[in-house]
Structure 1
């Protein structure tokens, strides 16, 4: 066949194919219109979850445990500290941004989010020294009277930036003299933990400037049995937990601060077997029922960051253990962070890094096992 004829047949074949395809190809999709939906009314079992992946732009999500659904999500910058107003109206995120991702000009801000819309409604630019650390619920906090936010700084010198929330401005910076974090301790007061094992409590005036400071007696055995910096509110004070499993109640609202006698989670036999708490956020308290939930594992010195292979439940009045819930033995993932909702029918939530697990707070019945929720979920707490 002459080459000219073959070329003509090829063109005719392509034309026929184009006509056939045109007849069978569906019409193009209509352009998608983006919209912002209103937040539904919060449920009793809504939680925040903080995913630190990617590190330079963490994600703060709101998750409905009952519907097993992510309700909303917002960016949270690099190594953020997150706090909520007492009336649950606002969320405050102290974080860091760099102009070129992980380098360039640094800007630290306290971002203000309206929880009714999950939209950012304002920000306060902070001194560029916000502590970048594995998340702590006491890196950024709000005073008990709701007037101030306290943001931890490390340069490595330690201080706390005091933010006037009504005026949305930096009010002052308090030198905390090698003490770190900010535990709200009454109206316009916060407490920092010191390397000596003591606590420093600072009071600020209406203008946010320091008016008084007081250091406590030594209550932490920093050499032999340090405490986790994670704590839980109990009455007017806090419960701290040592690496070996001793609960220490501390009331910084009093002057001088009061400390009740520590009590152990483990028996001498269990201690000899290596049982101890572990994780980034290893325990939670349901306040109205007086129940304490602790992530426990078998380990030794230096294993305090290991996830829990079991969850133990205690009565805070009698100090008696009520139940032990298997985690890894039930083919679930080790627990890195614990929280519990505060409603009359509470749910215990365990973050595993890559996912979430939840349990009925009374029976330990497994309610949720999700291994694909995130990449580095290291902090969870009620919305």
Structure 2
């Protein structure tokens, strides 16, 4: 009996030690009192870590699936949504796709809605969005491209919207914007029943064979920012009647032999390309653009990780800094937290880095969170 008791005590002590180590990664299980603008999510496999980037602490986790590239925070209603595909034999067998619903304060799953088994289980945060503060949109590819809609008020699948040769779900006005293979941006509007009411297409502004546009976009105050493989940045907006696209800003222009306003001569950096799963981030109010850069190769390296971070002052159009990542690290994703006084979040091969976006200065590194896609948890993004 003593030996059994000793074995039980030893087992409990070992489990406590393991759990203490695990909690240092996954965070505690206490109630989350609230999220602020510095909270972000980092996806790693089937786990989403909720991180306070201001402190570097992991505050909680969501358990999704290995085919869940995005979340959709709905914090004003106390929820976080995701989606995923599940197989009866883990990696194969009969497939079921669902939109997942989590309690934002406990991170516990509280519901799910089955959707057609066509969701894109790869990609980035642009594969999912909350539309009209009511519908969860999930991008599908089979290879036909569509969007599945789930009503968050009734927890029911309501419609599947055709989206031929277009990708991404970027909420705007009463619908969303997608980027299309014919070189256009398309706005799809919904009514409050989840039915499509109109579709507006921009003029063609890029050639998919010459200079494709990433299907990943980042928010601006009045629209969404898109970047091309060759480094041309444009804003897409909707004025109620037309989809408008701004003239491009070139992150890597050729030198014209004249100095900038600081007296610095620009050097041609023709061998550097913008890359990554989330290759750039933009902050409208602070007028900051940050990109991940890779040396060498052609357009085929667009999803490769990069070794440098470039920061631009969008008021002057000048590159303000150029940083080589330390210790041979590479970066795959970058984002800025919203609102005033933002933080720059960089997902690297050695952990999640938190930097000052104005200077690029490294503030802290959250280890064991390397290489995952990142999103803001704050309302307004």
* TM-score, length-scaled by structure 2: 0.84
Provide the rounded CA distance (Å) in 2 between the counterparts of 1:246 and 1:214.
23
Of residues 222, 225, 242, the one that matches 1:236 is: 222
Give the Cα separation in 2 of the matches to 1:364 and 1:358: 9
The CA distance in 1 between the partners of 2:126 and 2:168, in whole Å, is 6
* CA shift in 2, pair 1:321/1:181, >3 Å: same
Aligned counterparts of 2:151 and 2:8: Cα–Cα separation in 1: 56
Once residues 191 and 273 of structure 2 are traced to their aligned partners in structure 1, the CA distance between those partners, rounded to angstroms, is 41
Higher relative contact order, structure no. (Cα contacts within 8 Å, ≥ 6 residues apart): 2
Query: For the residues of structure 1 that align with 2:268 and 2:36, how far apart are their CA atoms?
Result: 40
Counterpart selection for 2:42 from 40, 46, 49 = 49
The equivalences for 1:165-244 within 5 A come to: 165-187=152-174, 189-244=175-230
Alignment of 1:198-347 (within 5 A): 198-269=184-255, 270-271=267-268, 273-301=270-298, 302-324=300-322, 326-328=323-325, 330-331=326-327, 333-347=329-343
Distance 1:178 1:220 in 2: 15
Distance in 1 separating the partners of 2:189 and 2:53: 38
Among 359, 366, 373, which residue is 1:379 paired with?
373
- Give the CA deviation at 1:348: 0.8
State how 1:79-90 maps to structure 2 within 5 Å.
79-80=67-68, 81-85=70-74, 87=76, 89-90=78-79
The alpha carbon displacement at 1:316 in A equals 2.8
Specify the structure having the higher radius of gyration (Cα). 1
SS at match of 1:138: helix
Kindly indicate whether residue 135 of structure 2 is the aligned counterpart of residue 148 of structure 1: yes
Matching residue of 2:105: 116
Change (3 A) 1:88 1:319: farther
- Structure 1 equivalent of residue 261 of structure 2: none
Question: RMSD over aligned Cα, in angstroms?
Answer: 2.6
4+ aligned runs moved over 6 Å, structure 1: 32-35
> Structure 1's 238 and 277: CA in aligned 2 closer, same or farther, altered over 3 A?
same
**5+ long unaligned stretches in structure 1:** 1-20, 53-57
Give how far 1:211 is off.
Answer: 1.6
| Change beyond 3 A, Cα 1:334–1:27 | closer
1-structure distance, mates of 2:340, 2:189? 34
* Aligned partner of 2:92 among 74, 97, 103: 103
CA change 1:266–1:96 in 2 (3 A) is same
Q: 1:95 to 1:30 in 2, by over 3 A?
A: closer
3-state DSSP of counterpart to 1:83: strand
Map of 1:18 onto structure 2? none
- Pairing 1:360–2:356 present: yes
Answering whether residue 127 of structure 2 is matched by residue 139 of structure 1, we say yes
Q: CA deviation at 1:152?
A: 0.7
How far apart are 1:361 and its partner, in Å?
2.1
What is the SS of the residue equivalent to 2:126? coil
- Could you say if the C-alpha distance between residues 150 and 253 of structure 1 is closer, same or farther in structure 2, counting changes exceeding 3 Å? farther
What is the CA-CA distance between 1:265 and the residue it aligns to? 0.8
Instruction: Tell me the SS of whatever aligns to 1:331.
Output: helix
1:271, distance to aligned residue in structure 2 (A): 4.9
Alpha carbons 2:288, 2:358 under 8 Å: kept: no
More divergent stretch after superposition (332-341 vs 35-44)? 35-44
In 1: Cα distance, 2:349 partner to 2:327 partner: 16
| TM-score scaled by length of structure 1 | 0.83
Change (3 A) 1:64 1:227: same
**CA distance in structure 1 between the aligned counterparts of 2:63 and 2:337, rounded to whole angstroms:** 24
Task: Tell me the matched-pair count.
Answer: 350
